[in-house]
Amino acid sequence: MKQTTHPPDHRPADVRNGAAHAAPPPARGRRRRRPPSTQWAAWGFLAPVTLYLALFYAYPLYRNLDLSLRDYTVRSFVQGDAPFTGLANYRKVFDDPTFAPALLHTALFTAVCLVFQYAIGLALAVFFNQNFRLSATLRALFLVPWLLPLIVSASTWSWMLNSESGVVNATLHAVGIGPVNWLTSPSWSLTSVIIANIWIGVPFNLVVLYSGLQSIPAGLYEAAALDGAGSWRRFWSITFPLLRPVSAITLLLGLVYTLKVFDIIWIMTKGGPADSSTTFATWSYQLGFGNLLPAFGPGAAVGNLLVVAALVFGLVYVRVQRKQALS
Amino acid sequence: MSRSRRRTWLKTTIGVVLTGVMLFPVYWMLNVSLTRDQNMRKSPPDLLPLHGTLAGYRTVLDEQLPYLGTSLVIGLGTVLLTVLLSAPAGYALAKLRPRGGGFLSFVLLAAQMIPGIIMAMGFYAIYLQLGLLQSVPGLIVADSTLAVPFAVLIFTAFMSGIPGELIQAAQMDGARALRTFRSIVLPMSRNAVVTVSLFAFLWSWSDFVFASTLANGGAHEPITLGIYHYIGNNNQQWNAIMATAVVASLPAAVILVLAQRYVAAGVTAGAVKD
């Protein structure tokens, strides 16, 4: 959302962030003269969203925390009288044999996706920044993978990577490479979901980095060209350093959104085979919803660890963005 | 032909090839959706659907229409709820300087960082008690959490660009805050309404996490679950699966064609300093 989106959200995803900072901060001196009637009006307008945040963000999060601190069974889940067990669920999760692989896979998945999405996105942004014929149209087409529902992308990749009938193995066969069990072999499943997720994440990096490139004055390049700097040199001494603030934002947002990627992995491999592509997000879902006997407590505990990680990097992001807004 | 013009053509060619590589999976989805069952496991697979069939799409019409309808209703409901909640909030944050507004913006930012799967688990626990599992309104509320924080930030950014004189002039004429908002601010924010609506619809249409936790097995399941059940049940009929995927991608395609500039605006909003 994604996304992302994003991741979204993918997201992207998803791609949402502090546009609010575009609003000019009220001047300190004027703060005292805010008439009370405006305050009433302001909070009147804000009341629905505040109530909404409390009911549909804070309360589910609180319920999730509560889930992780009690010993829930299906029965007590319905009746709501599960005994309080403190951090027992967290201890159970830490001692679980899945913990170490899930941690490793989450770190690997996030790092590899970020590096490739950023590198490919940047290369494409530089390429499209040259404004040739059709460049705007082609750039728009690059958004397609990011806009598609994740289930669509994931099922398409599943079929493309199918061991017997997938087009990827057919292509490999044509150049003399034997079939790879992309989704069914423990040594390839993580690679497969990483490839699919990079494909989804490139558009976001491309669009954001491209708009960053647009704000670099063309005069700088002309001056460097006059000094005899080649295009490689111009990239490393002008583009890359001047793009650093935008790069930092892109990578941090990407990090937060990649940490929580769930759909792609679950639809393509369900975290398997044998946990070989399990991350914290899929593990949490697996515990809570993936089995006949749900383990809501440990599932919520894993989820909360993920929330903490996402919020830590989210705070770093907010700090970086504030600093950039001030400079 | 001059040298620079030839170089432009070279770049266009490279651009077309790169776009082709990037969009190959999308083409492959189309190709498979048109492939006959007996050719599905052919090796090597046909690169063009020359002996194609529309059987997959017929299956979609027969089996998936209820799912598509549910997704449409949920998408529109999410758009409505999101705009109703976030447009007034954006106005307040942009123009009325509420005490504590900065903190609220921070909370909204943090809200976007929370992984969907955690929200889903919390919603599941709450809906189970309220009896809202497998209900359309329940899913609309859950899906709106994907869009509301983003929407408030978009509205805030957009509305702070509306000249203060206009709003003051309205107030001099004796218009109350609500009327100023309705008759001046909202009409001027049409672009923001479009951007927010597009993303809210797209995210709710594409949602899988909430659907699979909160709506699974119910009478009204969205299209993402329709595809997911397909993958789980009939592994053989990939033309039907891919045909459903193509149909499920239509909103994204329409949005890309009709509203591409809004999409790009939404993606970059705030990520890049002006």
- Tens-digit pLDDT profile for residues B38-83: 887 777 788 888 888 888 898 888 888 999 999 999 999 999 999 9
> How far does A124 lie from chain B, in Å, by closest CA?
9
> How far does A187 lie from chain B, in Å, by closest CA?
23
Tell me, yes or no, whether B33 lies in a domain: yes
> Cα B111 to the chain's mean position, in Å?
18
* Minimum CA–CA partner of B210 in chain A: A263
Contact B227/A at CB under 8 A? yes
> How confident is the model at residue A295, as a pLDDT?
83
- Tens-digit pLDDT profile for residues A16-25: 333 333 444 4
Tell me, yes or no, whether B41 lies in a domain: yes
> Does the complex come out with an ipTM higher than 0.85?
yes
Contact A314/B at CB under 8 A? yes
Contact A53/B at CB under 8 A? yes
Residue B93: how many other CB atoms lie within 10 Å: 29
- Tens-digit pLDDT profile for residues A26-69: 444 444 455 667 788 888 889 999 999 999 899 999 988 988 88
Q: Are residues B86 and B147 in the same domain?
A: yes
Residue type, B165: E
Q: Are residues B28 and B72 in the same domain?
A: no
In A228-257, the residues whose Cβ lies within 8 Å of chain B are 245-246, 249-250, 253, 256
All structural domains of chain A: 99-272 (1.10.3720.10)
More reliable by pLDDT, B236 or B235? B236
> How far does B243 lie from chain A, in Å, by closest CA?
10
Q: Are residues B125 and B91 in the same domain?
A: yes
Q: Which residues pair with A3 in a beta bridge?
A: A8
* Minimum CA–CA partner of B141 in chain A: A56
Q: Which domain does B47 fall in, by range?
A: 3-55
Q: Are residues B26 and B115 in the same domain?
A: no
Q: Are residues B137 and B181 in the same domain?
A: yes
Q: 3-state DSSP call for residue B92? A: helix
Instruction: Say yes or no for a CB contact (<8 Å) between A306 and B18.
Output: no
User: CA A103, CA A272: separation in Å to the nearest integer?
Assistant: 15
> How confident is the model at residue B174, as a pLDDT?
67
Q: Are residues B50 and B86 in the same domain?
A: no
Q: How many CB pairs under 8 A join A and B?
A: 345
More reliable by pLDDT, B265 or B18? B18
Distances (CA, A) of A247 to A208, A241, B84: 9, 10, 34
B179 φ/ψ angles, rounded to the nearest 5 degrees: -70, -40
Peptide bond into A36 cis (omega under 30): no
Tell me the average pLDDT across A287-292: 83
Contact A287/B at CB under 8 A? no
Residue A215's pLDDT band (boundaries 50, 70, 90)?
Answer: confident
- Tens-digit pLDDT profile for residues B6-32: 778 899 999 999 999 999 999 999 999
Tell me, yes or no, whether B241 lies in a domain: no
Residue B269's pLDDT band (boundaries 50, 70, 90)?
Answer: low
Q: Are residues B74 and B50 in the same domain?
A: no
Instruction: Say yes or no for a CB contact (<8 Å) between B121 and A325.
Output: no
Q: Are residues B74 and B121 in the same domain?
A: yes
Residue B207's pLDDT band (boundaries 50, 70, 90)?
Answer: very high
Residues of A in contact with B116 (CB under 8 A): 9, 260, 262
Tell me, yes or no, whether B48 lies in a domain: yes
What's the start-to-end Cα distance of chain B, in Å? 39
More reliable by pLDDT, B225 or B39? B225
Q: Are residues B143 and B206 in the same domain?
A: yes
User: CA A35, CA A31: separation in Å to the nearest integer?
Assistant: 10
Instruction: Say yes or no for a CB contact (<8 Å) between B106 and A318.
Output: yes
Q: Are residues B21 and B45 in the same domain?
A: yes
For residue B137, the domain's CATH number is 1.10.3720.10
Instruction: Say yes or no for a CB contact (<8 Å) between B121 and A8.
Output: no
Residues of B in contact with A25 (CB under 8 A): 102
Q: Are residues B113 and B179 in the same domain?
A: yes
Contact present, A133 and B8 (Cβ < 8 Å): yes
Q: Are residues B219 and B114 in the same domain?
A: yes
Tell me, yes or no, whether B187 lies in a domain: yes
From the list A132, A135, A156, the residue facing B25 with the nearest CB is A156
Tell me, yes or no, whether B18 lies in a domain: yes
Chain B interface mutation, best of A151, A184, A208, A324, highest count of B Cβ atoms under 10 Å = A151
Q: Which residues pair with A70 in a beta bridge?
A: A84
What's the domain count of chain B? 2
In A136-155, the residues whose Cβ lies within 8 Å of chain B are 138, 140-153, 155
Contact B5/A at CB under 8 A? no
